[in-house]
Amino acid sequence: MCSNRNNDQRHPHDELAHVHEVEGAVQLGGNRNHPHIHCFEAVTSRGIPCGNLNHYHEVEFTTDINDCHCHRFCGRTGPAIQAGNGEHIHLIESITSCNDGHRHCIKVATGTEEPVGC
């Protein structure tokens, strides 16, 4: 994962043993002669406790290749935001690695449901 966090860390609440799908596209970027986007998809880490009964997730991905380059992201989501019916999402607002002389902004929400097979 992204950090050197102790993987043996456990939270007493089983509800943190879930992951979220994250997929989307970075915001338009690049130089003036070749503006472009990159797409990505990933699955977050399991929930990590923070604050008063809240949690976040670590996430990392490499975008698709466009114009002979890609970008990496390694970071974390924001805390859980209730979405109704007992579901929740997390927001990610950040920037990618600098490749080919530029970065891209990321603004995306995770899915509410755990991916099939996880």
pLDDT at residue 20 tops 70: yes
pLDDT at residue 104 tops 90: yes
- For residue 66, the 8-state DSSP code is B
Residue from 51, 61, 46, 54 nearest 9 by CA: 46
Structural domain includes residue 1: no
Count of domains in the chain?
Answer: 1
The b/e string for 38-68 (b: 16+ C-beta within 10 A; e otherwise) is bebebbbbbbbeeeeeebbbbbebebeebee
pLDDT at residue 57 tops 60: yes
Can you give the residue range of the structural domain that contains 77?
Answer: 14-109
Give me the count of residues in the chain.
118
The pTM of this model reads 0.80
Each residue's pLDDT tens digit, 63-101:
999 989 999 999 999 999 999 888 999 999 999 999 999
Structural domain includes residue 8: no
- Give me 52's structure tokens: 């008063």
Over residues 34-50, mean pLDDT:
93
**Angle subtended at Cα 72 by Cα 97 and Cα 1, rounded to the nearest 5 degrees:** 120
Structural domain includes residue 49: yes
From residue 51, give the alpha-carbon distance in Å to each of 25, 64, 115.
30, 34, 26
| E-state strands within 1-118 | 21-25, 39-43, 48-50, 54-56, 58-62, 72-76, 81-84, 87-89, 91-95, 105-109
Structural domain includes residue 2: no
Structural domain includes residue 3: no
Of the chain, the percentage scoring pLDDT greater than 70 comes to 83
